[in-house]
Structure 1
Amino acid sequence: MTRGLGGLFRGVQSLTSLPATRAGLGHPSACVSLRTMVALPSFLSFEPRDFSLPNSSWSSEMLRLYEQYSIQCEVETEGGENRGGQWQRLPSYNRSLKYATGGNYLSKIIQSKARLFTRNIRDPGAGFEYVVFANKEEKRCVCIFQAGHRLEGPPGHVHGGATATMIDTVTGSLAALLSGPVMTANLNINYRSAIPLGSTVLIETSLDSEEGRKKFISCKVTSTDGSKLHTEATALFLSINISHLLQGG
């Protein structure tokens, strides 16, 4: 696979007549040099797109909550130091590949078009619109979630499977933040009241306990003011070696 990627870059270089970059193709820094010297087509871009940023479909309530948590996040100063709150916004794209052998380099190329499957609907607002904020010190995550019309189950309301998907995504994000690569071992969900399509809800998760490779996490889905409980859940995640997983082990 590496030889194939190298051939692709050599082809791009020959088309753009930049022999000065040929010698360094085997080193990751060469990718940066090539990118800064050549205006690559979008399909060759190394930058993954972050789908957890506001777009035109976000409701005023979702934007309000996004701003509320954003101002509590860490910020990076010009000197490269982190300063600010204990929260951090988690980018929404596939990050698993970086844990494989050599994945840190390969992921910069492949992740440019890799997305969590909840982001596979191209139309903004039609499917899963969400952003996750994490507090590693307090071992909890908060997700602001807005469901689009393609997630309909009961008329005018969100399908229970879509809610389960989001619960798995957010509890898994917390487990992965605390211990690296994980897989869902158990997900137990109690549905209390249906979520109206287009509404904004909060998905809050916290770590209950841990035993070796096991992470036990609880979750609740509520209205943004906390007055209505939509769903409760508990989840069990197991730490894994993702290199073995990708190799079929």
Structure 2
Amino acid sequence: MMRRSLWLVPRFGSCKGLLGPPSLRPQSVLHRHTPRQVLGTSFSSSTDSLIARFCPKTTDLKDYALPNASWSPDMMRLYEEFLEKTKDGEWIKLPSFKSNADHIRGLKIPMGLTTTTSKEDGRLFTRFLEKEGQGYEYVIFFNPSKKKSVCLFQPGPYLEGAPGFAHGGALVALVDETFSKTAYLLGHGLFTINLNIKFKNLIPVGSVALLNVQLEKIEDQKMFLSCIAQSPDQQVLFAKVSGVFLQLELEKEE
């Protein structure tokens, strides 16, 4: 099992282009020491444009965040409950594609980082298996106004650590992925600076965990998020996680 502070590589996210046309985020959005209670309107227009920029309105890419035969009754029930909440526009279901290369463009990557991997070779770590139900089965719902996300997670047998239970590292990877999607859509938060996790209980393979992610605060170009991973009935706490993400700037569109 993995414990204490973790330094992880950047992860990217994806979502459905449901809102208005894309636009650039002004530099003034990078607040200094912004208290959580005044975050309500500061990011609204930026979030709308990020959601539109982040995801194409039409695509032939496969969405892996849709129900399949491996989903348990609990997973389906929760999915339908949250899908119902999307009807008034407060929540958004985020699709999940094999790779994020088509969905995050135009960011100024710091420190001169480059990659030699071709677009065709890339694959999102949490979508590394085509066979349904064996690895990560999950779907993320995003709430822009409340600055939060909920991830429904059903670990498959290929994520096993202790016999019959999901590996702690599998949970960390998905929390990091949910953090990064939330942070990006709330203001270009993308690079993981720090993760700290406290494990409480093991997640049985094939069961469902709820990952409740919340933006806590923004200081300079750092976004601070928290996550509580628990059973659907909230009776079993699996882990508490905190994370810090670096906000990036957008290149000018040509």
Compute the TM-score of the two structures, normalised by the length of structure 1: 0.68
| Residue-pair matches, total | 182
Cα deviation 1:33-75 (Å, max 9, x = unaligned): xxxxxxxxxxxxx62111000001000100000000001104x
SS class of match (1:68)? helix
Match of 2:86 among 73, 80, 88: 73
State yes or no: 1:180 paired with 2:167.
no
Displacement of 1:212 in angstroms is 2.3
1:87-102 pair list within 5 angstroms: 87-93=91-97, 94-101=99-106
SS class of match (1:230)? strand
Match of 1:199 among 198, 207, 225: 207
Q: 2:195 touches 2:242 (CA, 8 Å); kept in 1? A: yes
Q: Distance in 1 between matches of 2:189 and 2:222?
A: 12
Q: Distance in 2 between matches of 1:121 and 1:169?
A: 16
Structure 2, unmatched stretches of 5+, are 1-58, 108-117
Q: 1:200 touches 1:224 (CA, 8 Å); kept in 2? A: yes
Q: Distance in 2 between matches of 1:97 and 1:67?
A: 28
Q: Distance in 1 between matches of 2:223 and 2:189?
A: 12
- State the AA in 2 paired with 1:90: L
Match of 2:170 among 162, 173, 184: 162
Q: 2:188 touches 2:249 (CA, 8 Å); kept in 1? A: no
Taking every aligned residue pair, what percent have the same amino acid on both sides?
Answer: 38
Q: Distance in 2 between matches of 1:198 and 1:231?
A: 17
Greater percentage in helix: 1
Larger Rg: 1
State yes or no: 1:220 paired with 2:228.
yes
State yes or no: 1:143 paired with 2:151.
yes
Q: 2:213 touches 2:228 (CA, 8 Å); kept in 1? A: yes
Cα deviation 1:182-227 (Å, max 9, x = unaligned): 1100000000011111101100000110012110000010000101
Match of 1:85 among 63, 79, 89: 89
Displacement of 1:239 in angstroms is 1.2
Match of 1:55 among 68, 72, 76: 68
Closer, same or farther in 2 for the Cα pair 1:186/1:71, shift >3 Å? same
Closer, same or farther in 2 for the Cα pair 1:210/1:181, shift >3 Å? closer
Q: Distance in 1 between matches of 2:106 and 2:195?
A: 29
Compute the TM-score of the two structures, normalised by the length of structure 2: 0.67
Q: Which has the higher contact order (CA 8 A, sep 6+)?
A: 2
Q: Distance in 1 between matches of 2:179 and 2:100?
A: 16
Closer, same or farther in 2 for the Cα pair 1:68/1:192, shift >3 Å? same
Q: Distance in 1 between matches of 2:68 and 2:101?
A: 25
Q: Distance in 2 between matches of 1:96 and 1:181?
A: 16
Cα deviation 1:118-153 (Å, max 9, x = unaligned): 111111000000000010100000000000000000
Q: Distance in 2 between matches of 1:221 and 1:90?
A: 19
Displacement of 1:115 in angstroms is 4.2
Over the aligned positions, Cα root-mean-square deviation in angstroms equals 2.2
Q: 2:155 touches 2:206 (CA, 8 Å); kept in 1? A: yes
SS class of match (1:182)? strand
